[in-house]
Structure 1
Amino acid sequence: MTHNHPIRRLGALALIATATLAVSSACTGDDEAPAGNPAQAAAGGPEAKNIEGAKQAAQTVFDRFAGGDFAGAWDMYTAAGKQAISKDDYVKLNQACSRKGLAIQLTSARMEGADRAVVIAKQLVAAQSYTMVYEGDAWKLEPAKEGLALYKQGAAKAIAAQKKAGTCANQ
Structure 2
Amino acid sequence: MDRDSTIIELCRQGHAAGFTRLVAAYQERVYRTAYAFVQNREDAQDLTQEVFLRTVRAIDSLDASRPLWPWLRRVTTNLALTLLKQRRGHLPLDHLPEAALVAEPASEPAWTLLDLRQALADLPPLWRVVVTLRHQEDLSYEEIARLTELPVGTVKTYLFRARRFLRARLAVQEE
TM-score (norm 2): 0.26
Query: Higher RCO, 1 or 2 (CA under 8 Å, sep at least 6)?
Result: 1
Richer in strand (by share)? 1
